[in-house]
Structure 1
Amino acid sequence: MAQPVSELVQPGRGRGIVDVYKHKFLLQLLVRKEIKIRYRGSVLGLLWSYVKPLMQFLIYFVALGVFLDMQKGTPNYAIYLFAGIVLVNFFTESLGNATRSIVDNRDLIRKIYLPRELFPVSTVWVSAAHLLPQVVVLVGACLLTGWSPSIWQLLAVIGAFFLTALLSIGLGLLFGAANVYFRDSENIVDMILMIVTWASPVLYVWPMVQRVMGPWFFLYQLNPVTVAVEIFHWAFWSPTLSPAQAGTISMPPDLLTVWFPSAFGVAALVLVIGQLVFMKLSVHFAQEL
């Protein structure tokens, strides 16, 4: 009996990031491979996930909290600072590795066909694996200061994580594809990552920006990383404050009702643009690599 002939599909063409879900097993293999390679021959291994953010925290806390006396005007400044650092580190690590992911896997891409989107997406999940132990340390520090979050604050943390991951994947697809053709794309990304820590309320509080920008403050709030960091502060830092301390610095108005959905819209737009550029350029990845 004759078998029905399925519709022919042009080789190398897929459905974009949707194919990542269809190849979940390959995604898991890539994540495991990246983690093993990164810590191969390392003495500390996964402990480096703690060492780097700890050193960043100590440097910023001493320079800004002690020398510039930021902790005087910001209650529990150590919690405020570390909550921002762990999330920004997740974004910078995700985007930096996603930008290099296609070029770093050139040998695999030249040999077989598989959804190219797997490589940038896998780097984001590797960064998420590094984020988890840092969040555990953050939660432990919060508990020592009387942390008592609401269920909405805990759910908001998950939302902030997915917001940051969505933006990282979108930009990772865009710059990962561009890096195949223009290797100085890595230098552009390095400059972006250098600015990110200062372009979000990690080292300072948002009213400082509002006083300077005035009516243009909404442009600052459209940055998804800014919104995600402020949500982390709302979830981890705010519940550690006493009623008197909470009255000194409040969260930005309409954070969850206006800025959170707006930030998701911006991140989704970046993802669509990144996916379109990636699909356009990925056809010739093997030849260019």
Structure 2
Amino acid sequence: MSYINALTDPEFNTPGRSKGLFDVFHHRHLLGLLVRKGIATRYYGSALGWIWSYVRPAAQFLMYDFIFGTVFQAHRDIPNFSIYLFSGIITINLFSEALRNTTDSITGNASLVKKIYLPRELFPVSAIGVAFVHFLPQAVILLIVCIFLGWTITWMQLLALVLGIFIVLVFALGLGLFFGSINVAQRDARNIVDLILMFATWLSPVLYQWTMLKAHLSPLALKIYMINPVTVTVELFHNVFWAAVPTDGRPLPERPSHLMLNALIGLVIALVTLLIGQLTFRKLEGNFAQHL
């Protein structure tokens, strides 16, 4: 089905029948078209195109690796610090792009929202899909480097990887539905999202070890920090990639206890966030067209 034909499907012309996120799965053909459209327009007119998907994380990695690994001697304290760093960076990049994309998804598709009735949740979910597609090249690079260093995967690691990706994308979608619906009328929401992403980068164990916070946080505050969905996903990625790479006899720093329990709690938090985001989105979506 072509993009135009999909948009003129009679099912999308009858207002008041939306079932929220359930409609997204019912209209997967249109979701696929929107994802492909988002990917095609991402680097439209760019000379380098998809290469930018590699350049930005590579620049981040080189800068952080030099400053924290070389200048602050993190290489001395953390074996395979480069793997530790990059596995955290790609997690934060996935969360950041997913949340930014979903927040901008309604305003960025204003012409479609105003002219054609279709399940509005398709736009945030397709934005999540675009973010995931751009995450894949970074993950492939990390995977190749880890295999070169002697990394092997187990079924538990594969489960942890899938769980981590699911948690961070559900969390980003929930926040994106919430802030994206508010952003239609109040564009300050986009600036709040930028602040959240700034804090997420520096308050997640990407550039440092989680144990460094023990001396600065109360036990309760540390527990809250460890069940944060972003922190949970970063540590799951550390377990899957960094902790599974041979260290040539060097001991690994202390790993979080009860990581899988924290992951399940983080998943519940992400799902509750998704529910709140969906309820907010459903409440405000009736006014999208007039604000756009």
TM-score, structure 1 as length reference? 0.94
Which residue does the alignment assign to 1:223? 228
Change (3 A) 1:212 1:193: same
Which residue does the alignment assign to 1:232? 237
Q: Quick one: which of 63, 74, 77 aligns to 1:73?
A: 77
Report whether the alignment pairs 1:134 with 2:138.
yes
Change (3 A) 1:145 1:51: same
Report whether the alignment pairs 1:283 with 2:286.
yes
Percent identical = 47
Which residue does the alignment assign to 1:56? 60
Give per-residue Cα distances to partners, 1:185-215, cap 9 Å, x unaligned. 1110011111111111100011112232141
Tell me the C-alpha RMSD between the 2 structures: 1.4
Q: How does 1:185-204 map to 2 (within 5 A)?
A: 185-204=189-208
Listed as ranges, the gaps of 5+ residues in structure 1 are 1-8
Give 1:10 shift.
Answer: 7.8
Give per-residue Cα distances to partners, 1:111-166, cap 9 Å, x unaligned. 01001001111111101001111111001111121112322112210110011110
TM-score, structure 2 as length reference? 0.93
In 2, distance between residues paired with 1:225 and 1:122? 21
Q: How does 1:70-109 map to 2 (within 5 A)?
A: 70-109=74-113
SS of 1:227's equivalent in the other structure is helix
Q: How does 1:131-170 map to 2 (within 5 A)?
A: 131-170=135-174
In 1, distance between residues paired with 2:238 and 2:232? 10
Moved over 6 A (4+): none
Which residue does the alignment assign to 2:267? 264
Which residue does the alignment assign to 1:120? 124
In 2, distance between residues paired with 1:177 and 1:228? 26
Give 1:243 shift.
Answer: 7.4
CA contact (8 A) 1:101 1:176 kept: yes
CA contact (8 A) 1:167 1:267 kept: yes
Give 1:84 shift.
Answer: 0.4
In 2, distance between residues paired with 1:125 and 1:251? 31
Give the letter aligned to residue 233 of structure 2.
A
In 2, distance between residues paired with 1:271 and 1:31? 20
In 2, distance between residues paired with 1:160 and 1:183? 30
In 1, distance between residues paired with 2:48 and 2:200? 28
Give per-residue Cα distances to partners, 1:174-193, cap 9 Å, x unaligned. 01000011111111001111
